[in-house]
Homo-oligomer: A and B are copies of this chain.
Amino acid sequence: MSFVLVTGGAGYIGSHTVVELIQNGHQVVIVDNLSNSSYDSISRIEYLTRSKVPFHKVDLTDYSGLDAVFDQYEFKTVLHFAGLKAVGESARNPLKYHNNNVIGSINLLRTMQSHGCKSIIFSSSATVYGDVTRLEGQRIPIVETCPTQPTNPYGQTKLAVENTLRDVFAADQQWRIAILRYFNPIGAHSSGLLGENPHGVPDNLLPLIAQVASGRGKFSVFGTDYDSVDGTPIRDYVHVVDLAQGHVAALHHLDGLKEGTGICREWNLGTGTGSTVFEVHSSFERASNRKVPYTVATRRPGDVLNLTADVSRAATELGWRARLTVDKACDDLWLWTERHPSSGYQNVDGRVRLSSATGAIKVQIGAQGDIESITIGTQRLQGTRIQFKNLYGPAVRRTSNGFAVEYATDTTPIVYQFEFQSESRVCFTLYEIGAESLPRFEQVFEAVSEKYACSSSTFEIVDEMVET
């Protein structure tokens, strides 16, 4: 069986792309270091696609860890999302960015080469163009042949990887390399289950507006004296699901090349239509039915009037075009925001909390997918540390009087079932599906806390995931 490797598959664009890949019949393996993403997103991909998705927690700067993944699967193509992406942070800590993004990518390419995998789709960014207005004769919308000159370390790392890819292709024209330059990805999955998970203050416009709409943070509009309809700068916002489908289109383009033919080519992924800051703001106010207050500030250095993509190359060659509107993106983002009032997934780095700390049931999943502990109220269950080889992420479903966490190993599906027998009494059962539901063990706990109802924000999400 031939797999597609998705690095950074737990992240914002990666997770949406994995869903589209699986829905298009591809077998996906995810590698992610979870440094800026959540194990939750993988459970939710599995829930949405009704598929188990092999996951390996590997940092791409760890060459041997990555190599071990390549030893385990045969990959036909790699979709390479993994990377840090905060422009502001990159300016403050450029070595962190060069280390993660550049070293990670070189390691990935070396591993691919040594395993004979020569097909890659790389997440680049419109940031590589830099300030296009610096160039005489360059026009908006921006074409792929526009000279590159990033204005921040994040963009430098993207360009460095692009240059490496072009060098690799020049040396061996059997490679198939798609460089996708994203404009401004926005929105979330229409299920409300996948979205962006920014830590701290969001770096980008829409997550920031969404946060302010939720009553946190402040929103400044930097410059209202640009030469646009309303004085605010124009950007090309593309729905993350459109973007995800662009990757599928690129993959099919690479797969469809004639036997023995290679390619190394850049494609812009945008809508081709710009929106101003005020237009996006209005759209989000409409979607959320809330007022989003803002203050007007002066222009930021480095900001320019208009960065909109010429998307004709992707349309002609990949047969892909963005279909979803900014309005639709705002609707989806608001659904995601409302369901995740604490700004995205509740957990990072291998931990899954099925309930937040309001006193109900908490299951902690370790980095390897093992259950580290189960806490009911303040009581911590002993003897619950069970190691599974090749354990897939948990799927959670509501039961008649509680909920169940379902796992699968390669051979054995396993269910942890929690039944609320009364408000102060819970029954915890572990059994294997298919083993005629014989419980492996059963234990009843008296609750310390008084309430097991699905009152926590996270558990409400779980509640949505009912299979009927």
- Chain B residues with Cβ under 8 A from A160's Cβ? 102, 160, 163
Q: Contacting A102 at CB < 8 Å: which of B106, B113, B159?
A: B106
Verify A91–B163 contact, CB threshold 8 A.
no
- Chain B residues with Cβ under 8 A from A164's Cβ? 94-95, 98, 102, 156
A300 at the interface (CB under 8 A from B): no
Verify B167–A94 contact, CB threshold 8 A.
yes
* A172 CB → nearest B CB, Å: 9
A228 at the interface (CB under 8 A from B): no
A220 at the interface (CB under 8 A from B): no
Interface of A is mostly: helix
A110 at the interface (CB under 8 A from B): yes
Q: Contacting A91 at CB < 8 Å: which of B91, B93, B171?
A: B171
Verify A106–B113 contact, CB threshold 8 A.
no
State in angstroms the CA–CA spacing of A106 and B170 once bound together: 24
State in angstroms the CA–CA spacing of A159 and B95 once bound together: 16
State in angstroms the CA–CA spacing of A106 and B94 once bound together: 10
Verify B99–A102 contact, CB threshold 8 A.
no
Asked if A163 meets B156 with Cβ closer than 8 Å, knowing A103-B103, A106-B95, A106-B99, the reply is yes
Q: Nearest chain-B residue to A96 (Cβ)?
A: B110
State in angstroms the CA–CA spacing of A91 and B173 once bound together: 12
- Chain B residues with Cβ under 8 A from A106's Cβ? 95, 98-99, 102-103
A153 at the interface (CB under 8 A from B): yes
State in angstroms the CA–CA spacing of A431 and B107 once bound together: 48
A95-B109, A153-B171, A156-B163 known; 17 other A-B pairs, CB under 8 Å? A91-B167, A92-B171, A93-B171, A94-B164, A94-B167, A94-B170, A95-B110, A95-B113, A98-B106, A98-B164, A102-B103, A102-B160, A102-B164, A153-B167, A156-B167, A160-B160, A160-B163
* A242 CB → nearest B CB, Å: 31
* A310 CB → nearest B CB, Å: 23
- Chain B residues with Cβ under 8 A from A95's Cβ? 106, 109-110, 113, 164, 168
The residues in A between 97 and 139 inclusive whose CB is less than 8 angstroms from any CB of B are 97-99, 102-103, 106-107, 109-110, 113
Contact with B along A341-367 (1 / 0, CB 8 A): 000000000000000000000000000
State in angstroms the CA–CA spacing of A29 and B42 once bound together: 49
Ordered by A's residue number, 16 sampled pairs between the chains whose C-beta atoms are within 8 Å are A90-B167, A92-B171, A94-B168, A95-B168, A98-B109, A98-B164, A98-B167, A99-B106, A99-B110, A102-B103, A102-B160, A103-B103, A103-B106, A153-B167, A153-B170, A159-B163
Contact with B along A66-103 (1 / 0, CB 8 A): 00000000000000000000000011111101110011
* A117 CB → nearest B CB, Å: 13
- Chain B residues with Cβ under 8 A from A109's Cβ? 95, 98
State in angstroms the CA–CA spacing of A90 and B168 once bound together: 10
Q: Nearest chain-B residue to A160 (Cβ)?
A: B160
- Chain B residues with Cβ under 8 A from A167's Cβ? 90-91, 94, 97-98, 153, 156
State in angstroms the CA–CA spacing of A93 and B163 once bound together: 14
- Chain B residues with Cβ under 8 A from A97's Cβ? 167
- Chain B residues with Cβ under 8 A from A102's Cβ? 102-103, 106, 160, 164
- Chain B residues with Cβ under 8 A from A113's Cβ? 95
State in angstroms the CA–CA spacing of A168 and B109 once bound together: 25
State in angstroms the CA–CA spacing of A447 and B94 once bound together: 62
Q: Nearest chain-B residue to A103 (Cβ)?
A: B103
State in angstroms the CA–CA spacing of A400 and B94 once bound together: 59
**Residue of A97, A113, A171 most packed against chain B (CB within 10 A):** A171
State in angstroms the CA–CA spacing of A98 and B157 once bound together: 13
